[in-house]
Structure 1
Amino acid sequence: MTELTKTLELKLVDPNTHKRQKLLETQDAYQQALQAAFAAGCDTQSAANDVVVEYDLSGYAKNALKQYVPQLCGNSYDADELHDNHPVRFTNEGLQLDHQPQNAIEWYVKIPHHEDYHLWIPARTNPEQREWLEALDADDAEMGESRLFERDGTWYLHITVTRDVEDQSEASADERTPPDESGEPCLAGLDRTPIGVDIGEASLVTVCHRDGSGSPVRPRLWADDGKAVRRLRKTYFTAKRRLQQRGSERIAESYGDSLWDQIDDVFHRVTREVVEYAESVENPVLVLEDLTYIRENMDYGEYMNRRLHGWGFAKLHAQIRYKATEKRIPVETVNPRNTSKACHACGEHGSRPRQATFRCSNDDCWLGEYQADVNGAINIADRYRSGESHRRSDRSSRQKAGDDDSATDGASLTGPQDSHADAGTQQETRGTYAS
């Protein structure tokens, strides 16, 4: 493994008037603090702290200044003067990313304004850096310093990210498939074996594929892990409610972070094992359900919506995609419509008398009853085999309108919101990486 560092580029998407004003306030306060600390010749962090502590900035910006100004004043750069357009720097704890792949704008970033005020703003990303962003979102990469700046009326973020990357020499040239222009391994000339990946609540993940004769083979279910995650999430919601009733908001938040870390450990292990399963299949292609359709079709009442929208579909998808990419295994998506309702043997719709059981309604079908999640995984693979697939770089989807442009619930245990209510301009439908 080799440790690599890359600067990720994000373009903030049309902040509304309120958020643009807050960004300008942050920029102005940062420039004033930087100029004052530089003019005072602060060559130690302690000296810089005495100056910047008075300014209306978040602790993340102040800490970045305390590290940066001593470098300017002789330790590293020995600068004679400052230009007036330095980017606003934040230490590595300052920013937070949220991934919403069901939206036309997939990524949201939380930018600190001052100690008790943060802004959630949607952002466009460089498509070539998608794998790095997904690794960062899945906690398999480490965020370093970030820089916020404005150019010609548009706001940008540059984020330094470090991660371990598998050495190219570890895989022989014969084992790799050259990528096409989109960066995905090229499928031309290869007889790919579609592996259906069904993500659910009963079984966290289920995979299955067909052999050369068309028979489903080697299904694998991570049902025990589904139970473990359900138990942790139930514990979280119960404990959070009780702690909030006692006024212990900070303890509730800390407790939630601890439980999510445990859930994330399960996600990482399971998605790694999914990719290992794919490696054992000749010429595999992992086939996932397109989250665009999954989220739009979820409406099962308040209780079930809370469970399903917080289940972690987006995080599991992201981890599978980037881990598969590291192993040069292609990933495609298909419309999930009726994959859990149709019989993989005859195509007729059936029922689920129990969570884990699918019953075909066709009396002439040999199937009868079948494991429901395996049936769904086979249908997902078959949908790709029939010729349907959606390249993520080509997909254009409608973003649901919300009360503001903060991220929506789904990729995390609790939905992030701006610190102050902001009924801003609703985001328009936009194509991926549109200007």
Structure 2
Amino acid sequence: MKLVVPVKLLPTPEQAAALAGTLDTANAAATWLAGQAQTTDRRGRADLQREHYSHLKEMGLSAQPALHVLRKVADAYTTRAANVAAGNYGPRGSRRRGRAENSPIRFRPDAAQPFDDRCLSWQYDMQSVSIWTIAGRMKNLRYTGSADQLKALRLYRQGETDLVHRDGMWFLYATCEIPEPHAAQPTGWIGVDLGLANIATTNSGYRACGRGLRRYRERQRRLRRKLQAKNTKASNRVLRRQRRRETRHAAQVNHVISKRIVAEAQRTGHGIGLEALTGIRERVRLRKPQRATLHSWGFAQLGSFIVYKARRAGVPVVFVNANDTSRTCRKCGYIDRNNRVSQAEFRCRSCRFAEHADVNASHNIARKAAVVWGRGAQSTAPTLE
């Protein structure tokens, strides 16, 4: 199983300046190369390397960084072509699609830059790296991380590492190939119902209330509106400081929830059933004040956290069709939209069974997961690459 492990760099001011210059040079070269590819319509890696490799070397890049820039540009155009073909930029003839197809790709000056083992070497005992920069080979660049991150880095690191500059801090994102335990035959299933009022509800009795996170998001939105209305130097400094704070907080909440669900499944020998919520933002109809809450909610992130933690623990995961899970009575199987009396209350119109709506839905998800597993679809979870 591939897992990206981030570690924080601790550069001196001189080292930070060299790293910044390296990113700026590499991304300036990538932007120039993307412009050439757009003009000549030759966007394959082999064509770009044959025609422009020597010029990239003249721009200050050594051999391996130049090859990484070539590949970064070629991959960017491949990704854009796939998005255009999938209709992600609108239908044929639309203005947005025309801009996407006819404009050269641009790279931010501080966009991430990949390094391989020829450009970057690790000294695990000293917690330092040696990395290529435009100022020469930089040695004794210190890094830090949690105990789990450092252990995974030492034991399982393979492949490329990305240099990332974010919010004034420097990071290395290393790819680790972590062995994945074999998923045992589950003795039962934990169904997980995801929602806004309750972030996650399981049929085993766990419920993560979303009220705290919802109120935190609302406070952050009010603060942003207030600071943006002031538009002073001081307010803009605070806005920059607040950047991604809400995202980090929500991710931490999702980590805690997913860890608890996976730990319970591992302890009891159960598998985990999740709803396939693809397209939920298009299906759900909400009043305008509620739309910001829906679009900022991390359904996919929580699901991905559960998946990768479960795979590391050897817990099987299946995704099931979410249709009618909240309208079906888990006792008699009767389906009716009026069974859902309110957000929290479920009362079957056939057998009069009553229960919390999210708990009822989680039991239905667990039942569906058992059926899917029995058909041999042992996991429809996406690969973590």
Pick from 80, 100, 107: which aligns with 1:113? 107
Structure 2 residue identity aligned to 1:297: R
Contact 1:194 1:384 in 2 (8 A): yes
What is the alpha-carbon distance in structure 1 between the residues aligned to residue 345 and residue 319 of structure 2? 25
Partner of 1:202: 197
Structure 2 residue identity aligned to 1:258: R
The change in CA–CA distance for 1:197 and 1:19 in structure 2 (over 3 A counts) is farther
Partner of 2:58: 35
Displacement over 6 Å in runs of 4+: 3-6, 25-31, 140-143
Pick from 193, 216, 224: which aligns with 2:188? 193
Partner of 1:320: 306
Partner of 2:323: 337
In structure 2, the residue corresponding to 1:370 is in which secondary structure?
A: strand
Partner of 2:369: 384
What is the alpha-carbon distance in structure 2 between the residues aligned to residue 288 and residue 19 of structure 1? 45
Q: Note the residue ranges of structure 1 that are not aligned, 5 or more in a row.
A: 7-17, 38-64, 70-81, 96-103, 120-139, 148-158, 169-175, 179-184, 209-217, 396-432
Structure 1 residue identity aligned to 2:347: R
Structure 2 residue identity aligned to 1:273: R
Pick from 344, 364, 372: which aligns with 1:356? 344
The change in CA–CA distance for 1:83 and 1:304 in structure 2 (over 3 A counts) is closer
In structure 2, the residue corresponding to 1:392 is in which secondary structure?
A: coil
The change in CA–CA distance for 1:161 and 1:352 in structure 2 (over 3 A counts) is same
In structure 2, the residue corresponding to 1:205 is in which secondary structure?
A: strand
Partner of 1:233: 217
In structure 2, the residue corresponding to 1:333 is in which secondary structure?
A: strand
The change in CA–CA distance for 1:366 and 1:351 in structure 2 (over 3 A counts) is closer
How many residues are matched? Answer: 261
**TM-score if structure 1 supplies the norm length?**
0.49
What is the alpha-carbon distance in structure 2 between the residues aligned to residue 33 and residue 256 of structure 1? 34
Pick from 257, 276, 285: which aligns with 1:299? 285
In structure 2, the residue corresponding to 1:337 is in which secondary structure?
A: coil
Matched, 1:144 2:144: no
What is the alpha-carbon distance in structure 2 between the residues aligned to residue 324 and residue 343 of structure 1? 28
In structure 2, the residue corresponding to 1:113 is in which secondary structure?
A: coil
Partner of 2:242: 255
Query: 1:27-64: CA deviations, max 9, x gaps?
Result: 89997464243xxxxxxxxxxxxxxxxxxxxxxxxxxx
Query: 1:98-145: CA deviations, max 9, x gaps?
Result: xxxxxx98x9xxx861449x89xxxxxxxxxxxxxxxxxxxx899932
The change in CA–CA distance for 1:276 and 1:256 in structure 2 (over 3 A counts) is same
Query: 1:216-254: CA deviations, max 9, x gaps?
Result: xx321112xx12211111112222222222235664354
Partner of 2:156: none
Contact 2:193 2:201 in 1 (8 A): yes
Q: Note the residue ranges of structure 2 that are not aligned, 5 or more in a row.
A: 7-30, 77-84, 89-104, 113-148, 154-159, 165-171
Partner of 2:357: 372
**TM-score if structure 2 supplies the norm length?**
0.55
